[in-house]
């Protein structure tokens, strides 16, 4: 659909984004203007750390899997020495897509067009009829590579910028949330090898990023499934909930549900089960973590949005990738905890019920994203409101801004970081 919302006029001496992003409102054109999307690719998606996949998707030497990094088709490979690379799927000769298979095991890739062959590190190995180039090893060409690749707890991120903050600097406090997730494995390790659901979403990617820690919507959007299943999740996001919404900095945010679960003090309540149903798991946790196991099992998994595209929703991981100003894809999978087979089966089953194109939760979120995209193209009012809870925010003991469970503190943190990146000079 064509964007009909006119960009707001820019006053002289002020940046475009300081005009479009206010502390309590953001302009509708941020979701509909193709020139803003093009600038986001340059200043966010091709620059900052973007979640791409997980090391467990390429467990063996020479394994590979095709992934997306924004609009780029990349091949995540593990070379023979175990190092993970992100190759851009394009032949250095005529620009063809080199790799067609979704995944496999190979030490090299051969372009079908003229037979140029590349090592799984991107290095050009050879080209047929080499006399046409004056012999072998005459060309200093290779596949494009994502220049910076780094992992945290097996989560693989890529940055298309050669220089910039390290992954640890980018993750900041959000790293601790990934640690919380991994700390629910008796072996301190998670894998993302239960396959991915791919959900095509006709919406700007930012509606998703904002919604992931919006504690205001669950009672309304998900009331249908909470009601029929008797789920206690709705209460976590009620007006009387003690949960908090936290701006973790760098655009990351979380719904910290631990205050609620600590009040109940029931191990595995966060997962909707009880220790007697997963006795081997509970025993393994006690074996690994001793007295601290109980705290971990009571507090549960994080609900964190890591800027710009990694959403950990307790037992699911989402990888959001933009396609165009009004379209993105949500990739979703079930977390798998090393050393916890009882939990893993349940997490696969629960994830199938909840997420993906037919999920009893996410299909309804996605319906909202798509209606939001249509609505925001209406001319009046031009602005979206993000002020909920602004007057009751406070600073927690670690210096982070927190709001109530249903407040828009996470969105405001998102926009703050977004503006910083969009205003940065190249």
Partner 1 sequence: MGIDTATLPERPDVAGELLAIPAGWDVREVEQFLYKEARLADENDYDGWEALWTDDALYWVPVDGEGDHPLATVSVIYDNRNRISTRLKQVRTGKRYAQAPPSNLRRIIGNVELLGGRGNRDGGVDLELGANFVAIESRPRGNELWGGRTTYRLRKFGDEIRLVYKKVVLVDNERALPTLGFLI
* Residue 371, beta-bridge partner list: none
Instruction: Return the residue of 23, 112, 223, 232 that touches partner 1, per CB under 8 A.
Output: 223
Which helix or strand (DSSP H or E) is residue 345 part of? helix 341-354
Record the tokens describing residue 280, joined without a space.
Answer: 């081997």
- Confirm if 267 and 297 have CB atoms less than 8 A apart: yes
Of residues 97-116, those binding partner 1 (CB under 8 A): 102
| Residue 233 binds partner 1, judged by CB under 8 A | no
Q: Which residue reads 């973007």 in tokens?
A: 50
- Confirm if 377 and 388 have CB atoms less than 8 A apart: no
Give dist(CA 91, CA 68) in Å, integer: 17
| Residue 351 binds partner 1, judged by CB under 8 A | yes
- Name the DSSP class of 123: B
Closest to partner 1 by CB, 358 vs 378, is 358
Of residues 370-409, those binding partner 1 (CB under 8 A): 370-371, 374
Closest to partner 1 by CB, 124 vs 310, is 310
Size of the site for partner 1 (CB under 8 A): 48
Q: For the window 187-206, what string marks contact with partner 1 as x by the rule CB under 8 A? A: --x-x-xxxxxxxx-x----
| Residue 125 binds partner 1, judged by CB under 8 A | no
Instruction: Give CA separation, 239 vs 160, 217, 251, 351, in Å.
Output: 42, 12, 25, 27
**CA geometry: angle 282, 253, 263, nearest 5 deg:** 45
Range in contact with partner 1 (rule: CB under 8 A) among 295-303, 304-312, 335-343, 414-422: 335-343
Instruction: Return the residue of 229, 263, 280, 420 that touches partner 1, per CB under 8 A.
Output: 229
Minimum distance, C-beta of residue 130 to partner 1, in the bound complex (Å): 36
Give dist(CA 239, CA 407) in Å, integer: 10
Closest to partner 1 by CB, 235 vs 323, is 323
Instruction: Return the residue of 218, 356, 389, 413 that touches partner 1, per CB under 8 A.
Output: 356
Q: 41 in helix, strand or coil?
A: helix
Give dist(CA 330, CA 321) in Å, integer: 7
- Name the DSSP class of 263: H
Closest to partner 1 by CB, 199 vs 388, is 199
Range in contact with partner 1 (rule: CB under 8 A) among 120-128, 144-152, 251-259, 358-366: 358-366
* Residue 158, beta-bridge partner list: 50, 149
Maximum C-alpha span of the chain: 76
Minimum distance, C-beta of residue 156 to partner 1, in the bound complex (Å): 15
Instruction: Return the residue of 48, 121, 255, 333 that touches partner 1, per CB under 8 A.
Output: 333
Instruction: Return the residue of 227, 232, 279, 375 that touches partner 1, per CB under 8 A.
Output: 227
Closest to partner 1 by CB, 24 vs 367, is 367
| Residue 246 binds partner 1, judged by CB under 8 A | no
Instruction: Give CA separation, 423 vs 6, 226, 319, in Å.
Output: 20, 41, 25
Record the tokens describing residue 78, joined without a space.
Answer: 């593990």
Closest to partner 1 by CB, 363 vs 421, is 363
Instruction: Return the residue of 23, 34, 59, 112 that touches partner 1, per CB under 8 A.
Output: 59
* Residue 336, beta-bridge partner list: 191
Of residues 258-297, those binding partner 1 (CB under 8 A): none
Give dist(CA 65, CA 79) in Å, integer: 12
Give dist(CA 321, CA 364) in Å, integer: 19
| Residue 326 binds partner 1, judged by CB under 8 A | no
Phi, psi of 244 (to 5 degrees): -125, 155
| Residue 348 binds partner 1, judged by CB under 8 A | yes
Range in contact with partner 1 (rule: CB under 8 A) among 44-52, 300-308, 344-352, 412-420: 344-352
Q: Which residue, among 313, 350, 340, has the nearest Cα to 185 in the 3D structure?
A: 340
Q: For the window 203-222, what string marks contact with partner 1 as x by the rule CB under 8 A? A: ------------------x-
Instruction: Return the residue of 14, 134, 163, 228 that touches partner 1, per CB under 8 A.
Output: 228
Minimum distance, C-beta of residue 349 to partner 1, in the bound complex (Å): 8
Instruction: Return the residue of 357, 377, 387, 390 that touches partner 1, per CB under 8 A.
Output: 357
**Helices assigned H by DSSP within 270-340:** 279-289, 292-299
| DSSP state string for 208-239 | HHHHTT-TTSHHHHSHHHHHHHT-SHHHHTST
Instruction: Return the residue of 73, 294, 364, 382 that touches partner 1, per CB under 8 A.
Output: 364
Please report, as ranges, the residues that interact with partner 1 according to CB under 8 A.
56, 59, 102, 189, 191, 193-200, 202, 221, 223-225, 227-229, 329, 332-334, 336, 338, 341, 344-345, 348-349, 351-353, 355-358, 360, 363-364, 366-368, 370-371, 374
């Amino acid at each position: 659909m064509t964007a009909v919302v006119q960009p707001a006029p820019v006053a002289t001496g002020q940046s475009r984004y300081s005009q479009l992003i206010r502390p309590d409102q953001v302009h509708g054109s941020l979701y509909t203007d193709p020139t803003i999307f093009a600038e986001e690719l340059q200043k966010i998606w091709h620059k900052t750390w973007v979640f791409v996949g997980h090391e467990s998707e390429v467990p063996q030497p020479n394994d590979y899997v095709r992934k997306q990094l924004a609009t780029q088709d990349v091949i995540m490979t593990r070379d023979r020495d175990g190092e993970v690379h992100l190759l851009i799927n394009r032949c250095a000769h005529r620009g063809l897509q080199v790799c067609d298979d979704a995944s496999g095991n190979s030490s090299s890739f051969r372009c079908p067009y003229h037979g140029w062959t590349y090592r799984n590190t991107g290095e050009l190995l050879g080209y047929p009829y080499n006399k046409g180039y004056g012999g072998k090893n005459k060309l200093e060409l290779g596949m494009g590579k994502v220049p910076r690749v780094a992992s945290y707890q097996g989560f693989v991120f890529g940055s298309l910028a050669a220089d910039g903050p390290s992954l640890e600097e980018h993750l900041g406090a959000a790293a601790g949330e990934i640690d919380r997730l991994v700390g629910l494995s008796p072996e301190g390790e998670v894998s993302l090898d239960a396959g991915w659901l791919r959900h095509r979403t006709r919406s700007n990617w930012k509606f998703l990023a904002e919604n992931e820690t919006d504690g205001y919507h669950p009672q309304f959007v998900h009331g249908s499934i909470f009601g029929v299943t008797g789920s206690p999740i709705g209460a976590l996001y009620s007006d009387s909930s003690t949960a908090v919404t936290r701006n973790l900095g760098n655009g990351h945010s979380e719904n910290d549900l631990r205050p609620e679960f600590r009040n109940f003090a029931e191990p595995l309540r966060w997962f909707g089960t009880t220790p007697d149903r997963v006795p081997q798991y509970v025993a393994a946790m006690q074996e690994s973590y001793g007295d601290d196991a109980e705290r971990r099992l009571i507090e549960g998994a994080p609900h964190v949005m890591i800027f710009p595209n990694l959403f950990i929703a307790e037992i699911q991981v989402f990888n959001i990738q933009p396609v165009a100003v009004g379209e993105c894809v949500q990739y979703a999978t079930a977390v798998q905890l090393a050393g916890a087979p009882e939990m893993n089966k349940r997490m696969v089953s629960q994830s199938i019920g909840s997420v993906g194109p037919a999920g009893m939760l996410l299909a309804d979120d996605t319906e909202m994203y798509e209606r939001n995209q249509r609505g925001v193209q209406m001319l009046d009012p031009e602005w979206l409101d993000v002020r909920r809870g602004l007057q009751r925010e406070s600073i927690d003991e670690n210096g982070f801004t927190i709001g109530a469970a249903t407040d828009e503190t996470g969105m405001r943190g998102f926009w703050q970081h977004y503006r910083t990146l969009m205003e940065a000079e190249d």
